[in-house]
Amino acid sequence: MRNKEQTYKQIMETAFTMFSEKGFDQTSLTHIASEIGISKPAIYYYFKSKDELIKTLFEMIVAEIQSITFIDLEELDAKNVKSILYQVGESAILRQEKDLKFNQLFNHYVLLSTRDDYYSEQLTKIQKDFLNIFENILTKAVHLNAIKEENIVIKSQLLALVFDNITTFILTDIKLDYKKIWREAVDSVLKGIEHDEQ
C-alpha cells in the first residue's frame, strides 16, 4: 500500500514522463492514473485539476533552473570570475544533456506560453533572470577589480543570449560541443577587459 508521499511522487514522475512524451493535450489524468495504477479521483486528492498539476510541474522545473543557475555573489572573487561564468553555463548544459525528457517537457511549456499568459510571463521572467545573473556577476567583478568597466551591460546581454541559444539548441537534440562553445563565449566576452591579462 502506498503512502500519500509516495503517491504524490509517482503522480509527479508519471506526469513528467507522459507530458514530455505526449504533450499536455494528449495526456489525460485518466492516462496518468492508469499508468500508476490508481483511480482518477485519487489524483484529485493531490491536484484540483489537470491545469494545477501542469502548473505544479512547471514550478518544479523553474525551481530547478533557478538552483542550477544560482550564484552566490559572495563567493565571487577577483580570481574566480571566469570559472564561475563557466560553471553557470556548464551546469545548465549538463542538466539538459542528461535528461531529454526535461527538454521535451520544457518545449511543451514554451508552446503552452503562446496561448497562456501565465506561462508567457513566467518564461519572460526566466529570460530576465538570465540577463540579471550575468550582469550581476560582471558588475561584481568590476567592483572586485577583476575586470574593467567596459560595456558590462552589453557583455552580460551577450552571455545571456548565447546561454539561451545553447539551451534552445540542446532542445533540438543537435549534437554540438556546447561546453566548448560556452567557454569560448565567456573567453570572448572577458578578452581585453580582464585586469590580469598580459
Residues 73 and 139 in one domain: yes
pLDDT at 196 (0 to 100) = 64
Domain that residue 1 falls in: 1-47
Mean pLDDT confidence for 182-192: 95
pLDDT at 195 (0 to 100) = 74
The percent of residues in the chain predicted with pLDDT above 90, rounded, is 76
CA 36/CA 28 separation, integer angstroms: 13
In CATH, what number is assigned to the domain containing residue 29? 1.10.10.60
Residues 86 and 10 in one domain: no
What pLDDT, in 10s, does the model give residues 33-54?
A: 999 999 999 999 999 999 999 9
What pLDDT, in 10s, does the model give residues 103-132?
A: 889 989 999 999 999 999 999 999 999 899
Is 16 in contact with 100 (CB distance < 8 Å)? no
Contacts with 180 (C-beta within 8 Å, 6 or more apart), sequence order: none
pLDDT at 2 (0 to 100) = 64
What average pLDDT is seen over the chain?
Answer: 92
Residues 12 and 74 in one domain: no
Secondary structure element (H or E) that encloses residue 179, with its range:
helix 178-190
Phi and psi for 48 in degrees, rounded to 5?
Answer: -70, -25
What pLDDT, in 10s, does the model give residues 57-86?
A: 999 999 988 888 888 999 999 899 999 999
pLDDT at 25 over 50: yes
Taking alpha carbons only, the member of 8, 51, 60, 1 closest to residue 28 is: 51
In CATH, what number is assigned to the domain containing residue 181? 1.10.357.10
CA 31/CA 37 separation, integer angstroms: 10
Kindly state whether residue 116 falls inside one of the protein's structural domains: yes
Kindly state whether residue 52 falls inside one of the protein's structural domains: no
* Total domains, the chain: 2
Kindly state whether residue 197 falls inside one of the protein's structural domains: no
